[in-house]
Amino acid sequence: MKLKYLWGILIWTVLFSACATMGNKPVSDKRQAVQEMKNEVLSDLYKIKPDVKSQIKSAPGYAVFSNANVKIIFASVGGGYGVVKNNRTGKQTYMKMGELGIGLGLGVKDFRVVFVFHTLETLERFVEQGWAFGVQADAAAKAGNKGAAVGGEATIDNITIYQITESGLALQATIKGTKYWKDTELN
């Protein structure tokens, strides 16, 4: 009986993550919310790592995403939204994301991720194909300004990735696939 309950929560979480990005607001309000999230995340990142500001400014482009992740025993699901900016053209591409993983853990985590693209080809491939696969091991116990989070920085395939945990309580080690795709409503 308890296993059925957990699977019900997992299925509900997947559906919620895919559909609940920003509700039924007008498109202009949704774009504005994404831009506000982007500006807030970059401001927070610059406070933690001031040198990232010049790295982003000189890069061909960058992306900022907001993501919520739920881990229940053997499965991890998440969803979110964000924007990719091509620094050369100024074009912004609004995107969505979803992730599914397997591994051990339990918890809920709300985090932000910034991608700095070091080549134009990598940026274009991300926007057009948007697929990422990775292994994640982390621990987070944070609520607002209280607690601590292990996030980090990694450079993979000409992309430097910064992760900032907003809030949550999670302990997990998962292998997961993450799909990023263009948001047809906002572009």
pLDDT at site 74: 67
Structure tokens at 71: 């881990």
| Closest alpha carbon to 127 in 73, 75, 162, 86 | 86
pLDDT at site 68: 75
What does each of the 187 residues of the chain score in pLDDT, given as a tens digit? Answer: 454 554 454 444 444 444 445 678 899 999 999 999 999 999 999 998 999 999 999 999 999 999 876 666 666 678 899 999 999 999 999 999 987 777 656 555 577 889 999 999 999 999 998 876 554 444 434 344 443 343 566 667 789 988 887 654 444 454 567 889 999 999 9
Beta-bridge partners for 141: 148, 169
Distance, in Å, from the CA atom of 141 to the CA atom of 107, rounded to the nearest integer, reads 10
* Structural domain boundaries in the chain: 2-182
| Closest alpha carbon to 162 in 76, 49, 70 | 49
Phi then psi for 144, rounded to 5 degrees?
60, -125
Residues in the chain: 187
Torsional class of 30: left (φ above 0), alpha (ψ -120 to 50), beta (otherwise):
alpha
The pTM of this model reads 0.75
Burial of 174 (0-12, 13-18, 19+ CB in 10 A): buried
pLDDT at site 163: 84
| Closest alpha carbon to 29 in 40, 17, 21 | 21
pLDDT at site 85: 98
Distance, in Å, from the CA atom of 6 to the CA atom of 47, rounded to the nearest integer, reads 39
Distance, in Å, from the CA atom of 179 to the CA atom of 187, rounded to the nearest integer, reads 18
CB proximity list for 142: less than 8 A, separation 6 or greater = 148, 149, 165, 166, 167, 168, 169
CB 76 within 8 A of CB 135: no
pLDDT at site 183: 94
